[in-house]
Amino acid sequence: MAERIRVLLVEVFPKVAQNITAMLNNIDSIELIPGNITNSENALQLIRQTKPDIVLLEMELPGVNGIQCTEIIKRDIPQTQVIILSEVSSAEAVRQAMRVGATDYINYNNLTSEELLSVIQHVSSNIQQEKIRQRLQQQTFEQETDDQKPHPEGKVISVYSPKGGAGVSTIVANLGVVIKESKPDARILLVDLDIQYGDLPILFNQFPNRSIIDLAIRIQNIDEELIESVVFTDETYGLDLLAPPQKPDLSNGIDPASISTIFSYLRKMYDVILVNVDSYLVESSLMCLSNSDLILLIAIQQVAAIRSLRSFITLISELGISKEKLAIVLNRYDETNSITAKKIGDMLSIGVSHIIPFDMKTAEKAANLGIPFTFDNKKMEISKSFTTLFSIIRNRLQAKEKIAAQIPS
């Protein structure tokens, strides 16, 4: 469940305060901080005490005005976003507000609920992205610190496409089979992080009763014994599966922060962890991607899908996730399509690492039977491409380890 945005209204004109309060109370994502404010002095005192996410600040405050007050807020509590409220608006007033750090400027004459909601949502989005970025930075720091410890840990390989239906779960299932056959003594875990509509177990004709939600709700008591009781072992392939919840509404029970904890345990128990990441990015997905050693980005020969990939690459760069973790895999490659691998690489500014040939008949038959084609049709070109893909993954991870070994501790 998303965190509510904590908002403090600093408004000394009773009628304006009443109208805006009524609007704010109708926005479910907001927690309105109570306060009786009559001047800038007690406004600043309350802001320092409560540290709200957003302050809606009247320009004409008694004492220090809104511009000066904003400057103080941004100096003392820089993470708090300030939206100036005013009866009038001029280009110069807006410039002054922005210059001292205000996020937005609202003229409350004839202000509608829709307009206020739009501004709040825009600012809230920036706040949430900054919070995620800070959490990812903290996780990266903890991971780098943990990497200096002498114990060996498993590798997390996430498979992701921002475009649904690109074949992510099929790739995870078949890649898992290939890795297990190449490394029969290794412990391999497949994790379905498509929390609402994951279908990874179905590709093995399995319907586990337990899921990742059983770990998330017991995160305070998590240990290897609990994990062993939740994962499902498919004896046919020698693979372990961590399934998604059976009901989509159960996904609200997963705290994004618990994902890092779960994966820290999984790394100690498994040699390779393959993750099917939901195309709809939420904070838990970003936590997983940040925690990954390698991210396979699945491209298909569609302009819209490639644009979505490009936006995703920009997003993770802004969140501090290194592009060095990325490998582009072109799925369902059709030689007759004018969108070539080279064009895709040029559009993404990252070359395509591997191509999986188009063979919808084999893929659909395998999915319907619940038998991965890399197990049942090893001689098919599409199956052989997964053996090559595993070699590429292994080489990338080995190269990363060599580089890490050269860095002084």
311-333 mean pLDDT: 90
The CATH code belonging to domain 150-406 is: 3.40.50.300
pLDDT band with cut points at 50, 70 and 90 for residue 151:
very low
Tell me: the pLDDT tens digits for 18-67?
A: 999 999 998 888 899 988 787 888 899 999 999 999 999 999 888 889 99
Domain ranges in the chain with CATH number 3.40.50.2300: 5-129
Q: Are 277 and 312 in contact, with CB atoms under 8 Å apart?
A: no
Residue intervals of the chain classified under CATH 3.40.50.300 are: 150-406
Give the pLDDT score at 288. Answer: 86
Mean model confidence pLDDT for the chain: 87
Banded model confidence at residue 206, pLDDT cuts 50, 70, 90: very high
pLDDT at 318: 80
Neighbouring CB atoms inside 10 A of 184's CB total 8
Question: With 90 as the cut, is the pLDDT of residue 363 above it?
Answer: yes
Predicted pLDDT of residue 407: 47
409: confidence class by pLDDT, cuts 50, 70, 90? very low
Q: How many CB atoms lie within 10 A of CB 212?
A: 26
Q: What is the pLDDT of residue 1?
A: 45
> According to the model, what pLDDT value does residue 150 have?
45
Q: Give the C-alpha separation, 126 to 116, whole Å.
A: 16
pLDDT of residue 388: 96
Residue 144, pLDDT score = 52
Show the DSSP H helices in 148-255 as ranges.
168-182, 212-216, 224-230
Q: What is the percentage of the chain residues whose pLDDT exceeds 90? A: 56
Residue 312 scores a pLDDT above 60: yes
pTM of the model: 0.69
Q: Which segment of 109-118, 147-156, 356-365 scores lowest on mean pLDDT? A: 147-156
CA 141 to chain centre: 17
Specify the 3-state DSSP secondary structure of 343. Answer: helix
Q: How confident is residue 222, by pLDDT bands cut at 50, 70 and 90? A: very high
Give the mean pLDDT of 221-232. Answer: 93
State how far the Cα of 215 lies from the Cα of 382, in Å rounded to an integer.
35
How far, in Å, CA of 262 to CA of 348, rounded? 32
Domain 5-129 homologous superfamily, CATH: Response regulator (3.40.50.2300)
Q: What is the mean pLDDT of residues 3-24?
A: 89
Contacts of range 311-315, beta carbons closer than 8 Å, 24 or more positions apart: 311/162, 312/160, 312/162, 312/281, 313/348, 313/349, 313/350, 315/281
Reported as a pLDDT band with limits 50, 70 and 90, residue 71 is very high
- Sign of the C-alpha dihedral, residues 346, 350, 351, 357? negative
- 62 and 40 Cβ atoms separated by less than 8 Å: yes
Predicted confidence at residue 238, as pLDDT, reads 95
Mind listing the pLDDT tens digit for each residue in 239-283? Answer: 999 998 877 666 565 777 788 889 999 999 999 999 999 988 777
Phi/psi for 330 (5° steps) reads -90, 110
Q: Please give the helix or strand (H or E) that residue 189 lies within, else none.
A: strand 188-193
- At 352 the pLDDT is 96
* pLDDT at residue 135 in the model: 65
Instruction: Pick the closest to residue 24 from 88, 77, 85, 68 (CA basis).
Output: 85
Other C-beta atoms closer than 10 Å to the C-beta of 185 total: 7
pLDDT at site 217: 87
